[in-house]
Amino acid sequence: MVIKIAVVGAAGRMGQIMVQGLSEYDDLSIVTVVDVLEVPGATNWVTSVTDLSANDVDVVVDFSSAAGATATLRWCAVNGVAAVIGATGLSPEQVRSAVDENANVVLAANFSIGAILAERFAAQAAPYFERVEIIEMHHDQKRDAPSGTSLATASAMAVARRAAQVSTNPDPTVSLVLEGARGALGEGDIPIHSVRLPGLVAHQEVIFGRPGEGLTIRHDSYDRSSFVSGVALAVRSVRNRPGLTVGLDELI
């Protein structure tokens, strides 16, 4: 069975990649693209999610904005259509306020399979190391810091440490020559350092240390096409997952 997809935010950088990448799968079909801006080469382009026909769409993939994704979620909830949301700046609480508990929604800060696995590996390692810090590096057009992926990674490690009844050793730094030099503190008081430079896409290092040894878990997305396979996985899964699924971890 071919899954019929509408892509919202199709004129944007990520939207264009999703349209191209998802079209390459035999079991997925892009039936409509949605954006207030014209989508070059689109044969079925509409300017609003309200212009969609629920009978023609199985899943809506949204890489627009927080406001745009909220409108998408409300339309999907009313029309019984599943949604995969990759728009940044939207929290699980905001999603729950826009849809009822029976809506089928996958919300993820990162659709890279490698990034999700790196987060899982970091959580496995966290109870065995006394200290850990995160360095996340992104392109210079990214507006938020730290990244959602780094926050999720810190949270996963903090949960693993609490389950193992292990706490993070206190930071030995007692004097900051420059305020903020030690980064921001994520969950579990794990330092997160954000880098924004042209030429980067999405990269993260989780650096562990204990007496006599260290461990670094690094993931690199060299191109935004790395997110397509994760979105395809979410599209295939979302209609069988009532409620809100946050992140891809449960799907892998």
25 and 56 both lie in a single domain: yes
pLDDT of residue 172: 87
**Does 138 qualify as catalytic in the annotation?**
yes
24 and 62 both lie in a single domain: yes
pLDDT of residue 186: 94
Average pLDDT, the chain: 92
pLDDT of residue 120: 95
pLDDT of residue 99: 84
Higher pLDDT, 168 or 231: 231
pLDDT of residue 240: 93
pLDDT digits (tens, 9 = 90+) for 163-188: 999 887 788 898 999 999 999 999 99
58 and 119 both lie in a single domain: no
Instruction: Considering the candidates 138, 193, 203, 219, report the single residue annotated as catalytic.
Output: 138
214 and 146 both lie in a single domain: yes
pLDDT of residue 135: 98
Instruction: Considering the candidates 4, 139, 142, 219, report the single residue annotated as catalytic.
Output: 142
190 and 128 both lie in a single domain: yes
**The CATH number of the domain where 52 resides is what?**
3.40.50.720
162 and 240 both lie in a single domain: no
Do 1 and 29 form a contact (C-beta atoms < 8 A)?
no
If pLDDT is split at 50, 70 and 90, which confidence band does 129 have? very high
pLDDT of residue 231: 97
Q: What does the pLDDT average to over 141-159?
A: 91
> How large a percentage of the chain has pLDDT more than 90?
74
Q: What does the pLDDT average to over 203-211?
A: 96
**Does 4 qualify as catalytic in the annotation?**
no
**The CATH number of the domain where 140 resides is what?**
3.30.360.10
pLDDT of residue 161: 96
84 and 117 both lie in a single domain: no
Number of structural domains (the chain) is 2
The whole domain housing 128 covers 113-221
102 and 121 both lie in a single domain: no
pLDDT above 80: residue 100: no
Higher pLDDT, 214 or 103: 214
179 and 207 both lie in a single domain: yes
